Amino acid sequence: MLASHNELITRIGPGTACGALLRCYWQPVALLDEFDPVLDARMAQRPVKRVRVLGQDLVLFRDGQGRWGLLDRDCAHRGADLAFGRHEADGLRCPFHGWKFAVDGRCLETPAEPVGSTLCSRVRQRSYPVREQSGVLFAWLGGEDTTPPQLPAIDAFAAPPSHSFAFKGLWHCNWLQAFEVGIDPAHPSFLHRYLHDERGGNAYGRQFRAASVGDVDGQRWPMTRVMRERTSPEIRHEELAPGLTRITALRIIDERRTHVRVTHALFPHTFVIPLSETVTITQLHVPVDDTRTYWYSFFTSFDAPLDRETMRAQRLAGVSLPDYLPRHGAHDDWGFDPDEQRSRTYLGMGEEDINRHDQWAVESMGAIQDRTREHLGTSDKVIMANRRVLLNAIEQVRSGARPPLALDAAAAAALTGPDTIDCIAPAQTWESFWREAAAAKRAAAPWLAASQGTRDPPPRAPSGARP
């Protein structure tokens, strides 16, 4: 990759081309949990948080009527930091001169001005729309004269609270390398390899080690065995619609059976993968700035309700609040244990949390990966394809066009699913088999109608291609 292209696709601050692209989409800015006084006692009296996203410093708060406000942190008066503002029932007041702003940025009071002053009516703090979705607060950081798109009706956003759970964590790296690890079908055979199998389960970090759908000669194979023994998958990717890509990894078990893993990438920074036979992860990668990224994971169950309290407690053990900073990182070599690497795992960085494996991979590349030094192979075809889409989308926005998956209401309602699966299928009929398995999973979901089946949109030929 040219150095100029690498610079183009990694810089996301205000005024950058890639930043302009990412501002065409709703971006997560906080978990609802971050305003829970049980997790952060300060929120009981003062529900105010400083936020940095896409290189912008903002303040997020909830007023006395439960309305969310997201404002620029520098006060419109003299630029003091509103993250230290006085929280009041109808807004946030700057302690410097008492100017008060409502959640929509209206200036409510300028108490140091003379009686009768109309200055307040002529001043506005820049504000950004905020919406709650599936346990996460999303913000629209686009231009004030632009209309936000709609969030798609994907499973992660359609599932009820009983069957969904959201969490997040910080990685010290650029957003693109954080996203690219999730759309790489080859890396689990190495990065997440366990040298021995064990019974899977619902404990944190164990779902990946659970059995796949299907068996080999009457024996159910754990995912770890599939990945460990079948290291060179056939990788296919198909554009179902602009910005929506199905990624299929085929690992031949024997002449009669094939392991099939189906995942999806949603532009610009979301992937959807199976965690277990009944739980899916939808993960978004949101730039804090050029060198830090928050990942937001939405867990969706197609079976029983999720034990949200247990899931939260398990994951909180690996981070420090209030900023969800991982306890392991470059400062302690990500907890690397050479004895573990020799005897238990390929990487040597823990058996319980494969998220730390990904963290090492993306952080060890450097804060912003130098892609001019790469040597890509056939197994990187999805990575290469996504970079082409990203470069094209940047040019679309530059020319004033709408980028992929910046959806209007009708298109957003139509984008449902997408289905994911891990299964061992008959070698000759693997495609119909995985679709039927995915349909059965959906039919069993108590929150989905049994008649819905698989819900991928029909394939559409890329622009310029023959149907």
Res. 455 pLDDT band, cuts 50 70 90: very low
Residue 69 confidence (pLDDT): 98
- How far, in Å, CA of 446 to CA of 15, rounded? 46
Rounded distance, CA 267 to CA 405, Å?
A: 6
Average pLDDT rounded to a whole number, residues 363-367: 98
CA distance 49 to 287: 17
- Mean pLDDT, residues 73-78: 97
Residues near 317 by beta carbon (within 8 Å), at least 6 away in sequence: none
pLDDT of residue 367: 98
Token code pair at residue 119? 């200055």
Q: What digits encode the pLDDT tens for the residues 139-152? A: 999 999 899 999 99
Residue 454: its pLDDT value, please? Answer: 45
When pLDDT is averaged across residues 259-266 and rounded to a whole number, the result is: 96
pLDDT band at 220 (very low <50, low <70, confident <90, very high): confident
Q: Give the separation between CA 418 and CA 272, rounded to whole angstroms.
A: 8
Q: Is the pLDDT of residue 219 over 60?
A: yes
> Comparing C-alpha atoms, which of 215, 182, 232 is closest to residue 354?
182
Among 88-102, 153-167, 185-199, 452-466, the range scoring the smallest mean pLDDT is: 452-466
Q: Which pLDDT value is given to residue 145? A: 86
For the chain, give the mean pLDDT.
92
How far apart, in whole angstroms, are the C-alpha atoms of residue 170 and residue 286? 10
pLDDT band (50, 70, 90) for residue 198 = low
Which pTM value belongs to this model? Answer: 0.92
d(C-alpha 75, C-alpha 78), whole Å: 6
Domains of the chain: 26-139 (2.102.10.10), 155-444 (3.90.380.10)
Confidence of residue 208 (pLDDT cuts 50, 70, 90): low
- pLDDT at residue 192 is higher than 70: yes
